[in-house]
Amino acid sequence: PAPTTPLTGLRIMKEWKKIFPKGVLNIVSGCDSLDFNVGAHLAKHSKVRKVSFTGSVATGKAIMGVCASDIKRLTLELGGNDAAIVCKDCDVKDAAKKIFSRAFANSGQVCVAIKRCFVHKDVYEPFCEAISALATEAKDKCGNGLDAGVEFGPLNNKAQFDRISDLVQDAVAQGGKLLAGGARIGNKGFFYAPTVVVNVQEGVRLVDEEQFGPALPIMSFETEDEAIARANSTAFGLGGSVWSSDVKRAAELANQLVAGSVWVNDHMTVLEGVPFGGVGISGLGREGGKADLREFTEPHSVHFAKE
């Protein structure tokens, strides 16, 4: 598991050990800052023939480089910069509510969370008003996850907290306007208020990079072609979504988004058995269903001489 989130993996393994024979599954935790890096050692070891990794693009690239030495098979599920396109015919309040939940779930710390929002100019103002109201309300629901009524927890570590703070400050410095949030909550822990930023465009780090935290940039568009082009103007390609009351037209737009998973009037829902993964720097290979099983096998052809 990641050195910043080892406990969940260790707890799950404790239960799995009751099911699987000894040696079938093993978990080894470590720290990247130590001289001996567990992940790097396992990835480059000659007896390891397959590496499946979920994490950052930077670490994925490093693993890919290590695995190149002996052509290991790879599955990489990396970061995303998912765009949601809100059409002018959508139910604004309903879309705002659902998009908020898909952008700020786990305080935005989800690889396939909504991280950019493009809204048609005709519904831009009411949409921004609706989602910023939800963000303001959510501030009072941030805290210890064991407390009643809490729905949003802290950022995982100081480095990520500092990154979110820096991205939001940079956006404001470049003309961005805060409709909600934009600051730390309290003086203990890494709690950051759900944040909505407008008046930003491509070229601003909050728009171009994966923030992986509770800060959502919202931009307006005039035509569907513009929205598709801007949504696709990224090296990422994990997920995307289209929000419209015209499901047929939304599906046509969804087919134009360059991403491994695209939703219509939803986002982030992953069904069992449906392949999941990214294109571009968002990953390599697929998880889930038969496609996942194939990632862990090799075709084997046996030929017989013709008599």
203-230 per-position pLDDT tens digit: 999 999 999 999 999 999 999 999 999 9
Can you give the pLDDT at residue 162? 98
Can you give the pLDDT at residue 16? 93
Torsion angle, CA of 14/18/21/23, rounded to 10 degrees?
Answer: 10
Whether 111 is catalytic is yes
Query: Annotated catalytic residue: which of 87, 90, 111, 117?
Result: 111
User: In this structure, are residues 3 and 38 in contact, taking their beta carbons and an 8 Å threshold?
Assistant: no
Can you give the pLDDT at residue 3? 87
User: In this structure, are residues 206 and 168 in contact, taking their beta carbons and an 8 Å threshold?
Assistant: yes
- The span from the CA of 163 to the CA of 212, in Å, is 9
Query: Annotated catalytic residue: which of 67, 77, 117, 295?
Result: 77
List 86's β-bridge partners, or say none: 119, 243
Find where tokens 């709690």 sit.
191
- The sign of the dihedral angle between the CA atoms of 219, 169, 134, 267 is positive
Q: Mean pLDDT in runs of 10 for the chain (307 residues)?
A: 90 94 90 82 93 94 94 96 98 98 98 98 98 98 95 96 98 98 96 98 98 98 98 98 98 98 97 94 95 93 95
The gap between the terminal CA atoms of the chain, to the nearest Å, is 54
Whether 77 is catalytic is yes
Can you give the pLDDT at residue 58? 94
Can you give the pLDDT at residue 229? 98
Can you give the pLDDT at residue 37? 86
Can you give the pLDDT at residue 35? 81
> Tens digit of pLDDT for each residue in 152-178?
999 999 999 999 999 999 999 999 999
Question: What phi and psi, each to the nearest 5 degrees, are found at residue 239?
Answer: -145, 175
